[in-house]
Amino acid sequence: MKKLRIYVDMDGVIADFDKAKNRLFKSKQGRPDLYVDYLHLDIIPGAEEAMSYLNEHHEVFIASTPPWSRIQVWADKRAWLERWFPDLKRKLILTHRKDLLIGDVLIDDSCYRGQPNFKGNWIWFGDKNYPRVIDWKDCLEIIKNMENEKI
């Protein structure tokens, strides 16, 4: 089996940004990315097991877009990653242009940072998207099918 190069977004894919946003913005309007505490985000259910599998069998990088006006978030993302996925702490890429990444798979929950133009396979993660992959179970099924095609 050939190893795939896989990029995984943080917020909404492995870090539960929506949970923090919903707690903070029950009655507020605006951009939650300017207020959410990125350092203390919960982990998305299934992400630990899925990332363990991906990291064992493939070349995995984290590709995330911090709010550029909050410099501290850059460090918070790195610290969060070290807490939950210490093996990936040196594999963090911060970018607004995910279409510039070179690899086989991009797993991301949004479509407005170049994801649709990624040259590999873009897996649109989360239950609010269509076509969509609802959770990590579905996502791993797609990856395992790709593994079988790469033999």
Among the listed residues 11, 18, 104, 108, the single catalytic one is 11
| Closest listed residue to residue 150, CA positions, set 114, 101, 112, 105 | 105
The angle subtended at Cα 44 by Cα 19 and Cα 61, nearest 5°, is 125
Based on its alpha-carbon atoms, the radius of gyration of the chain, rounded to whole angstroms, reads 15
The H or E element spanning position 5 is: strand 5-8
Residue 76 is a catalytic residue: no
Residue 42 is a catalytic residue: no
**DSSP 8-state code for residue 89:** T
| Closest listed residue to residue 56, CA positions, set 96, 13, 85 | 85
Distances (CA, A) of 105 to 22, 70, 87: 29, 28, 19
Among the listed residues 9, 18, 104, 109, the single catalytic one is 9
| Closest listed residue to residue 15, CA positions, set 84, 75, 69 | 84
Residues with catalytic roles: 9, 11
